[in-house]
Structure 1
Amino acid sequence: MRRRAVLGLLVAVLAAVGCVSSWLAAGREVVVAPVLDGEPSTMATMYYAPLLTLSMLLAAAAGVLAVVSVAALRRR
């Protein structure tokens, strides 16, 4: 049982790393055209929705796995 809980914690850490890398890969900066003539252009961040969804799913999975694994270790 202890081995299974430790494996769950390892998978939770991997899911958290995947969450962060997915979140960082989801955004990119783009140049926004000026509204009026003579104004400077600005930068904005655009996000890719599927990668943000993956990031949220991985965060939820990491949280659930961490809680369940810690509870299993404490029960022992």
Structure 2
Amino acid sequence: MKIRAVIELVLAVCAAAGCVVSWLAASTTVDVAPILPGEPSTTSVVHSAPLLVLSLLLATVAGVLAVLGIARLRRG
């Protein structure tokens, strides 16, 4: 049972790393055209909804696997 607990903890760390990568990749900076002629253009941050959902899903999976792995280590 200890092997399974270690595997769950390793998968939890991988899911947490994937969560961070997905979260960082979700935002991009775009140039926004000026409203009035002669004004400077501005920048805005645009977020990708699918990458944010993936990040939240991976965070949930990482949390569940971490709890299961720690519970198995404590029981065993």
Residue of structure 2 in register with 1:60 after alignment = 60
Displacement of 1:12 after TM fit? 0.3
Q: CA deviation at 1:74?
A: 1.1
Q: TM-score, normalised by structure 1?
A: 0.89
Using the TM superposition, name which of 66-75 and 29-38 deviates more: 29-38
CA RMSD of aligned residues (A): 1.2
Aligned counterpart, 2:3:
3
Give unmatched runs, 5+ long, in structure 1: none
Equivalent residue pairs, number? 76
| Matched residue, 1:22 | 22
Scaled by the length of structure 2, the TM-score of the pair is 0.89
* Sequence identity (%): 61
Q: Does 1:35 align with 2:35?
A: yes
Shift of 1:24: 1.2
